């Protein structure tokens, strides 16, 4: 039952995220709405990173941020973002398909060295740290699109740009 819930959510959210990434205007990848905000390209790359973290949640019992390389450079081309997104989705869906309820119930930990940031069953980590975190940043991306006057795709219902 747990796996069915995850798969349904993941399928819908990944499709919605791809629809949003398809709208990225390459001429604005360095744009940011505020000096404290990520650039459009940086935010989009972060969304890709979060997808890759979902892969890590399934593959490993923990992620230690102290061992992760410094923040990667933002991707600048929509085609590169979509290509990495699609490859990561394929890998993630395969790993999720191969996972069983026992594996999804195992404890997963996010740490920074000795400091425990988050510890929960893998299924909860996928939901909160993986999926909800990605949806949060996708929503930010929707605001960026709106501010750049790029049509925002319908995700959970119609937008001002896409009526059903």
Q: Residue 120: its pLDDT value, please?
A: 95
Kindly state the DSSP code that residue 106 receives in the 8-state scheme. S
Q: What distances in angstroms separate CA 17 from CA 31, 41, 67, 82, 97, one per listed residue?
A: 20, 15, 28, 10, 20
Q: Contact, 118 vs 109, CB < 8 A?
A: yes
Question: What is the average pLDDT value for the chain, to the nearest integer?
Answer: 92
Domain 2-147 part of CATH 2.60.40.1220: no
How do 115-121 and 62-64 pair as beta strands? unpaired
Q: pLDDT tens, 101-155?
A: 899 999 999 999 999 999 999 999 998 888 999 999 999 999 999 999 999 999 9
Q: Residue 69: its pLDDT value, please?
A: 83
Query: Which residue has 């819908």 as its token pair?
Result: 12
Q: How far apart are CA 163 and CA 47, in angstroms?
A: 26
- With 80 as the cut, is the pLDDT of residue 80 above it? yes
- With 70 as the cut, is the pLDDT of residue 164 above it? no
Q: Contact, 61 vs 107, CB < 8 A?
A: yes
Kindly state the tokens that stand for 110: 């996010």
Q: Residue 3: its pLDDT value, please?
A: 63
Q: pLDDT tens, 3-59?
A: 666 667 888 899 999 999 999 999 999 999 999 999 999 999 999 999 999 999 999
Residue ranges per structural domain of the chain: 2-147
- In DSSP notation, 52-92 reads HHHHHHHH-SEEEGGGSPSPPPPP--HHHHHHHHHHHHHHH
């Amino acid at each position: 039952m747990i796996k069915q819930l995850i798969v349904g959510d993941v399928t819908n959210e990944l499709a919605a995220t791809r629809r949003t990434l398809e709208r990225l205007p390459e001429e604005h990848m360095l744009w940011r709405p505020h000096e404290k905000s990520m650039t459009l390209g940086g935010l989009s790359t972060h969304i890709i990173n979060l997808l890759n973290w979902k892969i890590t949640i399934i593959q490993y019992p923990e992620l230690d941020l102290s061992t992760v390389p410094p923040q990667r450079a933002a991707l600048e081309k929509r085609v590169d973002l979509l290509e990495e997104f699609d490859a990561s989705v394929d890998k993630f869906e395969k790993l999720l398909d191969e996972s069983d309820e026992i594996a999804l119930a195992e404890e997963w930990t996010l740490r920074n060295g000795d400091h425990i940031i988050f510890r929960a069953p893998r299924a909860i980590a996928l939901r909160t740290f993986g999926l909800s975190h990605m949806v949060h940043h996708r929503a930010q991306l929707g605001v960026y699109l709106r501010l750049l006057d790029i049509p925002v795709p319908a995700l959970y219902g119609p937008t001002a740009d896409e009526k059903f």
